[in-house]
Structure 1
Amino acid sequence: MGISAAHWDDWSLEGLLGAKGTLGQRVSLVVPARNEAATVGAVVSRVREALMETVDLVDEIVVIDSDSVDDTYAVAESAGARVHRAAEIRPDLGSHPGKGEAMWKSLFVTTGDLVVFMDADLHDWDTHFVPGLLGPLLSDPAVQLVKGFYDRPGVDGPLEGGRVTELVARPLIALLFPELGALVQPLAGEWAVRRSWFAGLSVPTGYAVELAALVDTARAAGPSAIAQVDLGVRAHRHQALRDLGGMATQIIAAALGRSGVDGLDQEAVLRQYLRGLEPVEHVVPTLERPPAEAYL
């Protein structure tokens, strides 16, 4: 069997609530955030009102603030989230910058059996994202990880999967991990996973966390352990093209490491050229955290 696909409204909210109660599962929504004061408040407040106060589907909303220098922490807290600074979670384990680090650290401050991840920079979305992602986990015990996909509206028509997705992730999947070829948006930030499963995975500290989790899940449990759900429409802030170089470097490093390439350093020096022969250099961390279960 391969990766299954579904639509967010294939499950009723009442059915999910019943399954959650029968299975005795707790649900954590985790929002990793860095300098997202403009949007994180709406993400938190809308989910809290719809899925915690109106119905009891989500048990906690936790924002992991990844070294923000704006008001992300205060805005998220005011909106009703429990907020933790990533660097202050388990300081005995050290701290690294990055989205994956924030998600790995979330396992030490959350209690949910099922963990839903959502990006903090969303606009043009709705709260059905959360029950949609929980549907496969609450209805099929064989599913370990659920990936969201969606239409991405653009000024000149629908956008494709994203620049790093189309130019980096899809080619890597085609060449190295063809069993993941059915995934519509492998790098989507909206996904859900069983806590016990995620705690057993090695987690890149940066932007490679999504691809790494997919590859490792497919290898350990087969592609049928992955489901994807059509969430409808999603829009978010776009990064400048040059800023995507570090993200691409991290994704390639995780893919190479999982393809048997030895001797990779835990950081890479990315040289980019604005003009002439004078490079702008960026040190891109490519290290990974070991499975969190060893420290829980």
Structure 2
Amino acid sequence: MDYKQELITTIHDFGCNLEFLETRATQLSEQFPTAVLIPALYEELERPALAHIRNHLRECHFVKTVILSVYAKNLDQYAKAVEFFRSLPQKTLVIWENGPRIQGILERLGDRGLDLTRFKGKGKAVWLGLGVAALEADAIALHDADIITYDRSYPLKLLFPLLEKECGIAFNKAYYARLSSDRRSLNGRVARLFVTPLLTALIEIFGYQNYLRYLSSYRYPLSGEFALTSDLAMTTRIPGNWGLEIGMLAEVYRNVAEKRIAQVDLGIFDHKHQSLGESSQHGLQKMCRDILQSVLRTLTETERVIISMDHIRALRVKFRREAQDYTRQYFVDALFNNLPYDRHAEENIVEIFDKLILEAGEEYFLNPAGAQIPDWTRAIAVMPELREELRAASIADSQDAMAYTHPCEMALDPILPVNSLNPIHRAS
């Protein structure tokens, strides 16, 4: 049995009593409201995973609010998103992150000296969602929209350590076994073949810096599932690139005592897989570049490590050796568990990742500052009612969506007849 603890608290699943956890979490959520935030592209609505997630969320009585931060190309797509989540019993808000109302508010923020309109993608969706969620909840769980194996134990395990105040946890990140659900093969290529050997190589070169020790203590540092307190949500800078997960861990490292950080076992996990990408500007290759630059930046910011191109060249040599050793270990693990494992294909991926290190290092020296969305405390200093305006804009967008989808119904009742966060009309 695995009892191992890390620099951060590791919450194992030894056959935990989910019924007890759910009953207790439901009780605690009355005093400490909870929210689940899901950033999503409209295209996710057309895949089965998000419907599966929605159906399980219906049974999550410990979740009081559900917030979707959706990228939709037009009102028709956004209206379908609002309709898609209409059946949820929780208070529900669908933020049209790139809609004209939200964009107009962000443009006014830019006119006052804080321009966030240049940020796009998941980072922007997360930033918007966390700001609005913090108005409603003390504890916020975030997860992606493409989880195939989702069930209500996921948000329960993420939120419970924050709700149970005796735990003293402010940030809780998921870890799991990434196994394909169709043919039970090892997934998580970036975590296995890039991040793990990268951290080992960095420790060999720079020594056991506390930040590297901290990152190494996460069993799945790239998981997109975590929970945090509303206070932390307000003081966290959100990375605006593909290094979001690693960048979030850097922010937690800066802002939270190690004893208040945890990781929790979600078990077997599978979701949509990204392509490797045809170049270093696409797919998993782009992700690896952003991850490396985030790690280098944080090493300098927090540990005062001076990095040179000689270090980058040495890192490339050490990385390849470490990654090759890991492929041998993965092969043994897969063989024992009767999992298919193409060691040659894995070695080819290592060689692709290896070539990215020099390119990413050179780019880092040209732009060491990186791309991070300022935290919410700064944004509120510029526009004190910013979050309330964003919430009101999302409610208005939802009303327009309902009028678009159900014009006859809205003509009879102009108050939005869904579980919006409109204080005039809330779900019981």
**Pair 260,70 (structure 1): closer, same or farther in 2 beyond 3 Å:** farther
Residue 74 of structure 1 and its aligned partner are, at CA, apart by 4.2
Residue 177 of structure 1 and its aligned partner are, at CA, apart by 1.5
In structure 2, the residue matched to 1:42 is 51
Q: Of 94, 97, 103, which aligns to 1:86?
A: 97
Checking the alignment, whether the CA contact within 8 Å between 1:33 and 1:120 is kept in structure 2 is yes
User: What count of residue pairs does the alignment treat as equivalent?
Assistant: 271
Checking the alignment, whether the CA contact within 8 Å between 2:131 and 2:233 is kept in structure 1 is no
In structure 2, the residue matched to 1:190 is 225
Residue 194 of structure 1 and its aligned partner are, at CA, apart by 0.7
**Aligned partners of 2:254 and 2:67: how far apart in 1?**
30
**Pair 74,179 (structure 1): closer, same or farther in 2 beyond 3 Å:** same
Of stretches 175-184 and 131-140 in structure 1, the one that deviates more from structure 2 is 175-184
Checking the alignment, whether the CA contact within 8 Å between 1:16 and 1:138 is kept in structure 2 is yes
**Aligned partners of 1:27 and 1:44: how far apart in 2?**
17
In structure 1, the residue matched to 2:138 is 113
| TM superposition score normalised by structure 1 | 0.80
In structure 1, the residue matched to 2:273 is 238
- The residue type equivalent to 1:294 in the other structure is R
Query: Which segments of structure 1 move beyond 6 Å, counting only runs of 4 or more?
Result: 69-72
Checking the alignment, whether the CA contact within 8 Å between 2:72 and 2:78 is kept in structure 1 is no
Q: State the superposition RMSD in angstroms.
A: 3.0
**Pair 132,226 (structure 1): closer, same or farther in 2 beyond 3 Å:** same
Does the alignment pair 1:159 with 2:186? yes
Q: Deviations over 1:233-260 (max 9, x none)?
A: 2211111111112212222222222122
**Aligned partners of 2:38 and 2:52: how far apart in 1?**
9
In the alignment, structure 2 segments of 5+ residues that lack a partner are 1-5, 86-91, 110-114, 203-210, 278-282, 308-351, 353-362, 381-428
Does the alignment pair 1:220 with 2:255? yes
Q: Deviations over 1:52-89 (max 9, x none)?
A: xxx2x112111111356898644532232522122343
**Aligned partners of 1:71 and 1:32: how far apart in 2?**
19
Checking the alignment, whether the CA contact within 8 Å between 2:29 and 2:64 is kept in structure 1 is no
In structure 1, the residue matched to 2:416 is none
**Pair 113,181 (structure 1): closer, same or farther in 2 beyond 3 Å:** same
Checking the alignment, whether the CA contact within 8 Å between 1:44 and 1:79 is kept in structure 2 is no
- The residue type equivalent to 2:288 in the other structure is A
**Aligned partners of 1:147 and 1:137: how far apart in 2?**
11
**Aligned partners of 1:226 and 1:26: how far apart in 2?**
20
- The residue type equivalent to 2:68 in the other structure is V
Checking the alignment, whether the CA contact within 8 Å between 2:240 and 2:373 is kept in structure 1 is yes
**Aligned partners of 2:7 and 2:300: how far apart in 1?**
24
- The residue type equivalent to 1:202 in the other structure is R
In the alignment, structure 1 segments of 5+ residues that lack a partner are 264-272, 274-282
Residue 16 of structure 1 and its aligned partner are, at CA, apart by 1.2
The percentage of counterpart residues that share the same residue type is 25
Q: How does 1:1-296 map to 2 (within 5 A)?
A: 2-7=7-12, 9=16, 12-21=21-30, 24-34=31-41, 35-37=43-45, 38-39=47-48, 41-51=50-60, 55=61, 57-66=62-71, 73-80=78-85, 81-88=92-99, 89=102, 90-91=105-106, 92=109, 93-95=115-117, 96-110=119-133, 111-140=136-165, 142-154=168-180, 157-160=184-187, 162-174=188-200, 175=202, 177-242=212-277, 243-260=283-300, 286-296=370-380
**Aligned partners of 2:75 and 2:270: how far apart in 1?**
22
Checking the alignment, whether the CA contact within 8 Å between 1:36 and 1:72 is kept in structure 2 is no
Residue 221 of structure 1 and its aligned partner are, at CA, apart by 2.8
Q: Which has the higher helix share?
A: 2
Residue 43 of structure 1 and its aligned partner are, at CA, apart by 4.7
**Pair 257,120 (structure 1): closer, same or farther in 2 beyond 3 Å:** same
| TM superposition score normalised by structure 2 | 0.57
**Aligned partners of 1:147 and 1:26: how far apart in 2?**
19
State the SS of the aligned residue for 2:190. Answer: helix
- The residue type equivalent to 1:234 in the other structure is F
State the SS of the aligned residue for 1:136. Answer: helix
**Aligned partners of 1:198 and 1:108: how far apart in 2?**
7
**Aligned partners of 1:40 and 1:68: how far apart in 2?**
21
Q: Deviations over 1:18-43 (max 9, x none)?
A: 2233xx21111111112312146415
Checking the alignment, whether the CA contact within 8 Å between 2:8 and 2:263 is kept in structure 1 is yes
Of stretches 166-175 and 208-217 in structure 1, the one that deviates more from structure 2 is 166-175
Residue 120 of structure 1 and its aligned partner are, at CA, apart by 0.5
**Aligned partners of 2:199 and 2:44: how far apart in 1?**
30
Checking the alignment, whether the CA contact within 8 Å between 2:239 and 2:247 is kept in structure 1 is yes
State the SS of the aligned residue for 1:189. Answer: coil
- Quick check: which has more Rg, 1 or 2? 2
**Aligned partners of 1:41 and 1:128: how far apart in 2?**
16
State the SS of the aligned residue for 2:300. Answer: coil
**Aligned partners of 2:76 and 2:155: how far apart in 1?**
25
**Aligned partners of 2:196 and 2:74: how far apart in 1?**
33
State the SS of the aligned residue for 2:273. Answer: coil
